[in-house]
Amino acid sequence: RSLSVTMTGARVATVPYDEPLPPEAGSVVLSLGDATGSVFTTGATDVPFDGAEREVVFDLGDLAAGDTGQAGALPSYPLRLVGGRITLPADSLLRASAENPEATGLVTLRASVLVGALQADGTPVDLPDDLSWASEVNLSDFLEPSSVDVSRADGTIGGLAVTGGTPFSGFFQSEVSVSLRPLSDPPTLPVVLDREAAAAGAAQIGDNLSLAIAGDVFAAEVTGIVEAFPATGTGDGAVLLDYQTLADARWLSGGVTTEPSEWWLASSASGVTADALAAAPQLATNVVVHDELVGQFQQDPLGATTLGALLAGFVAALGFAAVGFTLNLVIGARERLTELAVLRALGVSRRQVLGMLLVEQAFLIGMSLGVGLLIGVVVSALVVPLVVLSPSALQVVPPVLLDVPWLTLAVTAIATASALGGLVVVAANRLQRGGLGSALRLGEDG
């Protein structure tokens, strides 16, 4: 993809100069902001100061991230024109008189560059009507221009004219660069605070704050307050900002580029994406896959030990309950042996006796399982969030949400009730195998 503009560079002397001006050329770099707020710069393009209009084409495939030119960094479309830098050779601004080359009264020149219409892949780009530019001169060791004029005519990106000043004697080989960025106030940053940060600043939703970021102060508005942010630690408070808004504010306030330190990608094939990034180290030096990270946390010894202890406690409690129920059933049935024999003697069938025992024990089993499950859920809700810790033995943020597997608990309760009901049936049949006479005599002996 390409971006093209029409440019005209010219030089004129502010006072009459008899000798012809030698050919000189400056360079132009455009700054483009992408959809994420990152600023990319085009390669420097030479612009002769001969007064002729020419089309200059910038190859967007050669964009470099920020001022550092990070290899492999790619922009996210669409792109925005957010500024540029025009470099002018000092010889284009300063000329000494032929009679006295080291005199302090030097002939100064006025160099200008006009950037005209903008096209992207051959399609004209409409510019905002209120677009205007602010300039920042990067001074050399010896030169301070006497004036820098930035203007914008209809249908053009803008024009820059620099009038040279008086140099120190003997220094004529350096250059002067002028950086341009939109003339606009930085936007107010919408921020979200955690409870600690809000308490430290006594902030409420809707309050306006001043945030110091990397030596610059920005206006901010509190749009939300949350309990905590994950992976931010505790004690100092944390502030959440929109990256693109922050990047725009830093660029407009001082022409500072903001580079992201990490990217979060949504992918339906995380493994394939991770392998592709790992094969291109210029794009990412450290690739973390969320699914793999979750698996590592689940296999963490601290977490596995905690969950294992809870599971062992559940199994042990269930085993003790089953043993206790069985013993109580056997002892209680033996104590009621005479009562059962009397019922049989009165004409109650074995099936009716079994049904009576099942109804009695079903009430006990149901009450025990219901109360036990209720106590287990309450205790889990109180204890599990306290014992589940991060790999660094800290409480996790956000807090643990207890996920109760109701279907599994229901199946377990039904299976347990069925097993205990089977014990009741077995115990009742064994007690009724003896004769009625022996059972009644046993009752009389007791």
Q: pLDDT class for 104, splitting at 50, 70, 90?
A: very low
Written as six digits, the tokens of 206 are 């809707």
* Dist. CA 199–CA 222, nearest whole Å: 13
pLDDT given at position 89:
65
Q: What is the pLDDT of residue 359?
A: 81
Residue 318 has pLDDT above 60, yes or no: yes
pLDDT at 9: 76
Q: What is the mean pLDDT of residues 254-272?
A: 80
CB 13 within 8 Å of CB 22: no
Amino acid 190: pLDDT: 93
% of residues, the chain, pLDDT over 70:
70
The pLDDT score that the predictor gives to residue 433 is: 61
Residue 131 backbone class (left: φ over 0; alpha: ψ -120 to 50; beta: rest): beta
Judge if pTM exceeds 0.75.
Answer: no
